[in-house]
Amino acid sequence: MDRGAGCEPPLLVLVRVTTACNLACGFCAYDRRLRFARVTLAEAALETLFDLLASEAARRHRIGEAPPLLSWIGGEPLRWRPWATWSRRARAARIRVSATSNGTTLADPRVRAAVLAELDELTLSLDAEGARFDGLRGWPGGAERLESSIRELVRERAAVGSGLKLRVNTVLMRSTIAGYPALARRLAGLGVDELCFNALGGRDRPEFHVDEALLPRQLEALAAEMPRLREDLAMQDCRLIGGQSYLARLLRAAHGTPSPIAECEPGTRFLFVDEHGRVAPCAFTGDEYGIPLSAIGALSELPARFREARRARCAPACADCPSTQVFGKFAVDSTVMAVAEAT
């Protein structure tokens, strides 16, 4: 079963449908222990988004371009009840659909069946093995339960002939990065198709970041191990993605070196829709460049509007671009990282 290429889609539309979550991750703004009013994207905004995406998918189909990829994130999107209905509608309109989930709902066979029926891709979050993961996420027994759900999903996928691509994303932290190669090999053994990672960021919870920020030498050690790790994973039909420029960007961040981006071609390959129905070129510039869904006639008009907004008032985030998309998080690259060049 072809589960699609690992390269970046032509247009990825990330939609934060809710800021509600049932886990307690000390590094995240949506940690269930934090007291603030949780917001879910309104039905009317979803209708508008669907119409815009369906028109864009039809336009791309007419000119022979690949369809856009709509991706649900949160909070926890699979606890947002309408995800399956909206995913079905989107796929019927030639839009590919994915979700990034903490996996807590996957113990339920009905949820796994819906995932296999309604999604093209599912990305699960798993940062470490065993009790370390449980502690990081505030989910007792979580690692074991998530692994069990992955096994079931892989088995059921084969049984029903689903083309779902199963990916696991790992947040690399100071106390866990040394265990990443072992975790990656374990996940490949479970039947996961693709692995990706990001470095712990410090924007949401600086108090957590201070003890867990990656050290440059840790990233250098992982980079040195990457070629062998990629080879081992490939033997198990599992791909570790993240291009050379992505690793280089993580290393610059660990050194505290800014990565300003003069031209990210905002709105051409990536859009971010937040829970208020505001569309921006990335998750970090909604205040400066965000446009309400109701004020958009077609997605194709956004690159020019974002460029104009950026010229009028450049967002502070652009001075040290934190967007993993820009640096090829989802690119396929087996090149050995040139650590010396990256620093």
The contact set with ligand SF4 (CB under 6 A) reads 21, 23, 25, 28, 30-31, 74-76, 102, 125, 137, 261, 264, 266, 281-282, 284-285, 315, 317-318, 321, 323, 326
Q: How far is the CB of 64 from ligand SF4 (least distance, A)?
A: 28
Q: How far is the CB of 322 from ligand SF4 (least distance, A)?
A: 6
Q: How far is the CB of 110 from ligand SF4 (least distance, A)?
A: 21
Q: How far is the CB of 231 from ligand SF4 (least distance, A)?
A: 30
Which CB, 268 or 334, lies closer to ligand SF4? 268
Q: How far is the CB of 106 from ligand SF4 (least distance, A)?
A: 13
244/335 Cα distance (integer angstroms): 7
Of 174, 249, 261, 268, which Cα lies nearest the Cα of 212? Answer: 174
10 Å CB burial of residue 244 (0-12, 13-18, 19+) is buried
- 132 in Cβ contact with 176 (< 8 Å): yes
Which CB, 157 or 307, lies closer to ligand SF4? 307
How many contiguous H segments (helices) and E segments (strands) does the chain have?
12, 10
**Angle at 75 (CA atoms; ends 71, 77), nearest 5 degrees:** 45
Which CB, 237 or 308, lies closer to ligand SF4? 308
Q: How far is the CB of 210 from ligand SF4 (least distance, A)?
A: 18
Which CB, 75 or 216, lies closer to ligand SF4? 75
Beta strands in the chain (DSSP E): 12-16, 69-73, 96-101, 121-125, 165-172, 194-199, 239-240, 270-273, 278-280, 291-292
Residue with tokens 């960007």: 249
Q: How far is the CB of 76 from ligand SF4 (least distance, A)?
A: 5
Residue 118: left if φ>0, alpha if ψ -120 to 50, beta else—which one?
alpha
31/19 Cα distance (integer angstroms): 9
Which CB, 99 or 317, lies closer to ligand SF4? 317
Cα 295 → chain centroid: 26
Which CB, 162 or 325, lies closer to ligand SF4? 325
294/8 Cα distance (integer angstroms): 28
Q: How far is the CB of 85 from ligand SF4 (least distance, A)?
A: 22
Which CB, 244 or 323, lies closer to ligand SF4? 323
Half-sphere exposure of 117 (CA within 13 A, CB side): 12
Which CB, 102 or 218, lies closer to ligand SF4? 102
Report CA-CA distances (Å) from 32 to 82, 235, 283. Answer: 21, 39, 20
How many residues are listed for the chain in this entry?
343
97/88 Cα distance (integer angstroms): 9
Q: How far is the CB of 325 from ligand SF4 (least distance, A)?
A: 7
Which CB, 266 or 328, lies closer to ligand SF4? 266
